[in-house]
């Protein structure tokens, strides 16, 4: 079982990123679940969503306490949330950032998703879309195949710029 926790802010698409990742995993022939932690939802408030991926049907509904991967779509949440909480030894971090950061020694991958979205003019109501490009980065990390990532994106979104943004993130991910 591979467990992922996604940190974002309300309205940034963290929940959709989780759904896309689950769909991509299913397209890879795996089982997956994606679910948000629903609190009092407000735009801009820190939110968490979860993805489980496994080779057999997933029977667990409880929240993920010890993720294998933490994705931070909005690094500003790190001021208020300990995003590394419970991360397994050897677990990885994927940061939406221009520059590398030290994440207490955890293997950390960075990619400027915001920059890519702005470059590709992927915006909704003035906010850059992060949830489709992040799939490209996850494919590069080997969580899902790029083929399935693209397939998931195309199933959920018709705008081809989503796919090109994911391809950009695939190319630009820094380990």
Partner 1 sequence: MLTVATGNKAVAAAVKEAAPAVVAAYPITPQTEIVEQIAEYVSSGELKSQYIPVESEHSAMAACIGASVTGARTFTATSSHGLHYMHEMVNWAAGARLPIVMANVNRALGPGWNIWAEHTDAFQERDSGWLQVYVGSVQEAFDAVLMAFCIAEDERVLLPVMVNLDGFLLSHTMQPLEVEKAGDFIPPLRLPHAIDPQEPCGYGTLTGPDEYFRLRWDIERSMRDAVDVIRGTQERFAERFGRKYGMVDEYRCDDAEVVVVAAGTLGREAEVAVDLLRNEGIRAGSMRIRWFRPFPRLDLSGRDVVVIDRDYSFGFGGVLAKSIAAKEGARPFSVIAGLGGQEVTYEDIAGFVRNRQPGRELWFGVNGDV
Which parts of this chain interact with partner 1 (CB under 8 A)?
Answer: 18-19, 22-23, 26, 31-36, 38, 57-63, 65, 155
Closest CA to 108 of 154, 75, 64, 61: 75
- Choose between 82 and 155: whose C-beta lies nearer to partner 1: 155
**In the complex, minimum distance from the CB of residue 76 to partner 1, in angstroms, rounded to a whole number:** 25
- 4 burial type by CB count under 10 A (0-12 exposed, 13-18 middle, 19+ buried): buried
Beta strands in the chain (DSSP E): 2-9, 31-36, 46-54, 69-72, 92-96, 108-111, 123-124, 127-128
Task: Give the SS3 label for residue 161.
Answer: helix
- Choose between 19 and 92: whose C-beta lies nearer to partner 1: 19
Strand partners, 36: 49
**In the complex, minimum distance from the CB of residue 57 to partner 1, in angstroms, rounded to a whole number:** 8
- Choose between 51 and 137: whose C-beta lies nearer to partner 1: 51
**In the complex, minimum distance from the CB of residue 123 to partner 1, in angstroms, rounded to a whole number:** 25
- Choose between 110 and 148: whose C-beta lies nearer to partner 1: 148
């Amino acid at each position: 079982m591979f467990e992922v926790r996604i940190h974002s802010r309300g309205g940034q698409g963290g929940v959709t990123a989780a759904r896309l990742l689950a769909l991509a995993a299913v397209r890879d022939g795996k089982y997956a679940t994606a679910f948000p932690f629903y609190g009092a939802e407000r735009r801009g408030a820190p939110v968490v969503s979860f993805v489980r991926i496994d080779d057999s049907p997933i029977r667990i509904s409880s929240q993920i306490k010890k993720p294998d991967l933490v994705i931070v779509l909005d690094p500003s949440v790190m001021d208020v949330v300990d995003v590394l909480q419970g991360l397994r030894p050897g677990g990885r971090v994927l940061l939406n950032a221009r520059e590398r950061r030290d994440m207490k020694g955890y293997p950390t991958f960075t990619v400027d998703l915001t920059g890519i979205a702005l470059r590709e003019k992927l915006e909704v109501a003035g906010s850059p879309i992060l949830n489709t490009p992040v799939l490209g980065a996850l494919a590069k990390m080997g969580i899902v195949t790029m083929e399935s990532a693209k397939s998931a994106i195309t199933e959920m979104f018709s705008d081809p710029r989503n796919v090109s943004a994911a391809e950009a993130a695939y190319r630009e991910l820094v380990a």
